Amino acid sequence: MVQFYSPNRRSVNRGIISVTADNLDAQGQGIARHQGKTIFIAGLLPGEQAQIQLTEEKRQFAKAKVVKRLSDSPHRVAPHCPHFKVCGGCQQQHVATELQVKTKASVLEHLIQRETGINISAHPVIRSPEYGYRRRARLGLQYHGKQRTLLMGFRQSQTNDLVSIKHCPVMRPELEQLLQPLYQCLNSLYAVKRLGHVELVLADSGPLVVLRHLDPLKQEDKEILRIFSVRYNVSIYLLGEEKSLEPLMEGQIAPWYQVNGLKLVFSPQDFIQVNDVVNQQMVAQALAWLDLQPTDRVLDLFCGMGNFTLPIATKVQATVGVEGVAELVASGQYNARLNKLNNVDFFHENLESDIHQQPWAAQGFNKVLLDPARAGAAGVMAHIVKLAPEKVVYVSCNPTTLARDSKVLLAAGYHLVSVRMLDMFPHTGHLESMALFSSEPMDIE
């Protein structure tokens, strides 16, 4: 067989080597050094010695797996979940929470220092409960013909294979206790072979289930679901072949949650923050950092359904929210009316396109909040500088783009006043954060 040389292909040394981890990265991988090369080792904690085998080797770094761990760190703990190491949802349940938090905060501080030259602490961290924090979870559904049974669960790490989930301690207990009866219900449907996924959401108004089905459901299946709904006091929504959402039964109460004393009604498909405890603290911190006054005009970019916009509106002269998803804009407008907030305007606009022709861009604002997706907010940073606001609060789910976008504000003379790491997703590699920028030097906390 003819083989072709690839300049990107590097041979991997399959030999066993001994190393001691001296650090941890945000993904929960141990970091060791061997012959001048940095090695990332899944499952190894700082201070632990192990025999490892390389699985991937690049010019500057390598990845490895543990063959035999020779010592244990005092930060190693027993995972709560029976599916840990198989399920791809959590990567760090073996790591004590304090070390997880310290590591993520250090990674955030390092990225900001590297990109901006500013040394700043990401403490105090906005904390989460260790377990029972997820109020939303989507599980895949697959029918196995040979076993004649349904598989319901999360994806295995780095594969498309499902891991059957019977327990999930990071879910809110009200959702976790539904897992087994929900599985039994779905497995009994005539349409069991043609189900796509199921989503569980815990609203303040109660739990709800969204079922994706690929073919129209028979009345017999709808009756099975109705019985489940009544027995477990769960609202059920059906997501059919046209991907149109329909309540299973008439008269179901629209889900809602509270933030900063406001009631926000949402569609089961709307984005809401998964961790309610952290969301409440995050919104309160943003409002405190903005130092809102009755004369303020505040701009909220990438505003979603108004999670920040509406609480801000209770304290200022006027608020404008801009969002690219029409359904979220509609939810925001509805909730402004529901909470009798007449000083809010929502705009449905693509913030990744030319924003200068968008109607909101002609208005003036003295304070700005933005909460972009992972790609960051490169397209709006120049306009924020043009607005010359007194304060900017940047909420981020990607520290790399936060650090990148920060440089635009810093180059315009803004001061990075404060940074917080948000422990939004304990036991995972997700690193959420928020930062405060001010046009004038200021002391805080």
Going by the DSSP 8-state scheme, the letter that residue 254 receives in this structure is: P
Q: pTM for the whole thing?
A: 0.92
| 5 located within any domain | no
CATH code assigned at 43? 2.40.50.140
Are 108 and 419 a contacting pair, CB within 8 Å?
Answer: yes
Shared domain for 290 and 389, answered yes or no, is yes
pLDDT of residue 13: 58
Shared domain for 296 and 229, answered yes or no, is no
Backbone angles phi, psi at 272, to 5 degrees: -130, 155
List, for residues 82-98, the tens digit of each pLDDT value: 999 899 889 999 999 99
| 81 located within any domain | no
Quote the tokens at residue 340: 């009798």
| Mean pLDDT computed over 235-263 | 93
CA distance 42 to 65: 6
Number of domains within the chain: 3
Q: With 90 as the cut, is the pLDDT of residue 8 above it? A: no
Question: Is 302 labelled a binding residue?
Answer: yes
Shared domain for 288 and 431, answered yes or no, is yes
pLDDT of residue 5: 37
- Active-site residue set: 397
| 368 located within any domain | yes
Shared domain for 293 and 401, answered yes or no, is yes
Q: With 60 as the cut, is the pLDDT of residue 343 above it? A: yes
Domain that holds residue 361: 105-129+275-438
List, for residues 9-40, the tens digit of each pLDDT value: 454 556 799 999 999 988 889 999 998 899 99
Listed as own residue / partner, the contacts of 333-337 with beta carbons closer than 8 Å and 24 or more positions apart are 334/265, 335/262, 335/263, 335/264, 335/265, 335/305, 335/306, 335/310, 336/306, 336/310
CA dihedral 180, 183, 184, 190 (to 10 degrees): 170
| 57 located within any domain | yes
Shared domain for 157 and 47, answered yes or no, is no
pLDDT of residue 3: 38
Shared domain for 369 and 300, answered yes or no, is yes
Shared domain for 359 and 242, answered yes or no, is no
| 353 located within any domain | yes
Dmax (CA) for the chain in angstroms is 76
CA dihedral 130, 134, 140, 146 (to 10 degrees): 50
Shared domain for 210 and 231, answered yes or no, is yes
Q: With 80 as the cut, is the pLDDT of residue 145 above it? A: no
List, for residues 350-396, the tens digit of each pLDDT value: 999 889 899 999 999 999 999 999 999 999 999 999 999 999 999 99
Are 401 and 395 a contacting pair, CB within 8 Å?
Answer: no
Shared domain for 206 and 111, answered yes or no, is no
CATH code assigned at 411? 3.40.50.150
What sign does the dihedral 321-327-333-338 (CA atoms) show? Answer: negative
How many residues would you count in the chain? Answer: 445
pLDDT of residue 443: 66
355's enclosing H/E stretch is none
pLDDT of residue 441: 78
CA distance 188 to 221: 8
Question: Is 185 labelled a binding residue?
Answer: no
CATH code assigned at 233? 2.40.50.1070
Question: Is 204 labelled a binding residue?
Answer: no
Higher pLDDT: 296 or 148? It is 296
Higher pLDDT: 184 or 57? It is 184
Question: Is 303 labelled a binding residue?
Answer: no
| 158 located within any domain | yes
pLDDT of residue 1: 37
Q: Which of 201, 227, 256 is the last residue of a domain?
A: 256
| 116 located within any domain | yes
Shared domain for 321 and 182, answered yes or no, is no
Q: Which residues of 315-345 are buried (b: 16+ CB within 10 A; e: fewer)?
A: bbebbbbbbbeeebbbbbbbbbeebebeebb
List, for residues 281-300, the tens digit of each pLDDT value: 999 999 999 999 999 999 99
3-state secondary structure of 42: strand
CA distance 64 to 43: 10
CA distance 307 to 311: 7
Angle of CA points 127, 129, 130, to nearest 5°: 105
| 265 located within any domain | no
Shared domain for 281 and 248, answered yes or no, is no
Are 66 and 52 a contacting pair, CB within 8 Å?
Answer: yes
pLDDT of residue 14: 66
Question: Is 350 labelled a binding residue?
Answer: yes
Q: Which of 227, 256, 285 is the last residue of a domain?
A: 256
Shared domain for 292 and 419, answered yes or no, is yes
Question: Is 8 labelled a binding residue?
Answer: no
